A and B are shown apart, each in its own frame.
Chain A
Amino acid sequence: MKSEILYPGAFPMVRVELADGEHIKAESGAMVACSPTIDIESKMEGGFLGALSRKFLTGEKFFFQTLRASRGAGEVLLAPTVPGEIVVLDLDGINEYMVQKDGFLAGADGVTIDSQMQSMSRGLLGGEGFFILKMSGKGMLLLNSFGAVHKIELKPGQEYIVDNSHLVAWSTTTTYNIEKATSGWVASFTSGEGFVCRFRGPGLVFIQSRNPGGFGAWVRQFIPVSE
């Protein structure tokens, strides 16, 4: 399985080459085009209950699509819904990543997707909801972001502060605390940051250069209000 990112930048697309018999699972609706040798199946990843919990708990889609090269090798073009970069991670079976609910684009068959419950404070204040996706296993993992993706590399004990709505994915070897952006409550919110996550290494933190919620609020002002 080989992948190549086409048109890197705001509107990328990823080309995945599948050998005969190989398959990839992608977020439903992610397929843009594919070779005629590819079959599209819809699958409830993790079984019915797993799919149900993913749907209701993380807000992810109930069905994933499986793209299978069942009639010979071929290629698939995949793209996310929102404008923004795509990152390719190669899971080695040891490194695991937590991914915010809109961050998953596609994964090789060896990648396991679980919805995992967060702690109360992280769920309540982290802006990612109480349940997030945990990616483990082995193989290629494609994540998408809103805006550009920036990778933060943290050495053991190194700290970094991230606005909670800019998170895309982070290693499970990192740990984070939610805290107010400034020492005062009022200033925390008037500064426009509210809560931030203080990450502590080692591990990787992927952040997105745009905040989907902030963008939504900005767009809303231009939408005519119906009477």
Chain B
Amino acid sequence: MTASTPNALCFGEEFPANGTPCLVHVEGHGLTMTFPSDREAGESRSESVPFSELTVSAGGLDHDQLVVTWSAQTGQRTLYLKNPDVIRAFRQAAPGHLTKPLERAAKQVRQVRQRRRIVWSIAGGALLASVLGLWFGSDLLVGLAVDRIPVGWERKLGESAYHDFLAQHDVVKDGPSVAAVKEMIHRLAGQIPDNPYAFDVTVVKSDVVNAFALPGGYIIVFTGLMKKAESPEEVAGVLAHELNHVLQRHGLERIVKQLGFVAVVSIALGNPPGLGGVMKQLGIELMTLKFGRAQETEADVTGLQLLYRARIDPSGMITFFQRLAEKDEGRVEWLSTHPMSIARADRLKTQLAELPKQSTEPFTFEWAKVRASLDTPGGVP
């Protein structure tokens, strides 16, 4: 640094708001400021102030500058020192009455730095912990939130979507197909211990091969799916799968996941009405809700076990899934939400092979008659 390079900023009444650069010299009696002149050739101006008139503190954006103030004839003067050499010289030369304030200023600077380090390390640690927590614990958190949602609330959610859907579709009110589906549901539901859901099943007239379950136990079966099925066990297999989506609350899990973390927390803290506002929006989403692979596997496995307990032949489920996947004819929408794979069929076959053999009970209706009824208008033969 050359002798004329300014090393501090001086503020005062007659100076601009961003201060005037000046060269500060620490001398035995006090400070001398030399202000470079405005004009290149002009004389530079100097000012001196004894130590006895100074007060010091820490200042600046990061509290890392030494602020020296005093009253001059022209008004209050403030000096911002940043240069470490000047600060050191100042501290060495400063008389007794400034030692304490200087110590305090230095302590303040250290405290600010230390506090910042601590806050940042805590924040870094918390960030890391929450990333790890979310990575490993998001399913747990979703599960916790879903557990807090009462069944009644879940039913309301499903109900509005269910009625919206039925209003736009041709419902088969009675007849052999309705009776057959009801019998299947009755037999399956009878094997569910402590079942909190009253399953509500409706047959919808449509050639689309589809069936789905809404949260709360609302099940819709398309006539297209029943026509494709060669035996009632095949339809029962699909129903068992769908019932288990309801029982495991897979729909709710997806909704909670889609709504995100805030929703999870608000439910977990006991504030489910906060979600009410988005229910209508969700009603549309519920129809096209895609389940995760883990959820499909869970519904497959538990569905198979349910069929077994209800003494309905579970192999119908597997063959039907496979046949739907093989023959790519018509609109098999069920597959778009339930993609079939060899691995999935193999898993089900292995599962079935592990179960002890047992005799199955046939349904009370004749499947051929049920299927025949589907072709006649109104569903009644």
Q: Check if A and B associate.
A: yes
| Inter-chain CB contacts under 8 Å: number | 74
- Nearest CB in chain B: distance from A151 CB, A: 8
Per the bound structure, the CA–CA distance linking A201 and B78 in Å amounts to 11
Q: Are B7 and A94 in contact (CB under 8 A)?
A: yes
Q: Are A120 and B17 in contact (CB under 8 A)?
A: no
- Nearest CB in chain B: distance from A69 CB, A: 25
Q: A203-B18, A204-B18 are in contact. Are A173 and B119 (CB under 8 A)?
A: no
User: Nearest chain-B residue to A155 (Cβ)?
Assistant: B17
Per the bound structure, the CA–CA distance linking A119 and B64 in Å amounts to 13
Task: Mark interface residues in B113-133 (1 if CB within 8 Å of A CB, else 0).
Answer: 000100110010000000000
B-side interface residues, number (CB < 8 Å): 27
Q: Is B59 an interface residue (CB 8 A)?
A: yes
**Set of chain B residues within 8 Å of A98, measured between Cβ atoms:** 61
**Set of chain A residues within 8 Å of B19, measured between Cβ atoms:** 94-95, 171, 173, 202-203
- Nearest CB in chain B: distance from A91 CB, A: 10
Selected from A92, A175, A202, A203, the residue in CB contact (under 8 A) with B63 is: A175
Q: Are A174 and B61 in contact (CB under 8 A)?
A: yes
**Set of chain B residues within 8 Å of A171, measured between Cβ atoms:** 18-19, 61
Q: Is A182 an interface residue (CB 8 A)?
A: no
Q: Are B9 and A173 in contact (CB under 8 A)?
A: yes
Q: A120-B123, A153-B17, A172-B61 are in contact. Are A93 and B78 (CB under 8 A)?
A: no
Q: What are 18 A-B contacts defined by CB distance under 8 Å?
A: A92-B6, A94-B8, A95-B19, A117-B116, A119-B116, A120-B116, A153-B17, A153-B18, A156-B76, A173-B19, A173-B65, A173-B80, A174-B60, A175-B60, A202-B11, A202-B80, A203-B18, A204-B18
Q: Are A172 and B60 in contact (CB under 8 A)?
A: yes
A-side interface residues, number (CB < 8 Å): 23
Task: Mark interface residues in A118-143 (1 if CB within 8 Å of B CB, else 0).
Answer: 01100000000000000000000000
- Nearest CB in chain B: distance from A48 CB, A: 23
**Set of chain B residues within 8 Å of A201, measured between Cβ atoms:** 11, 17
**Set of chain B residues within 8 Å of A202, measured between Cβ atoms:** 11, 17-19, 78, 80
Q: A173-B65, A175-B63 are in contact. Are A154 and B17 (CB under 8 A)?
A: yes
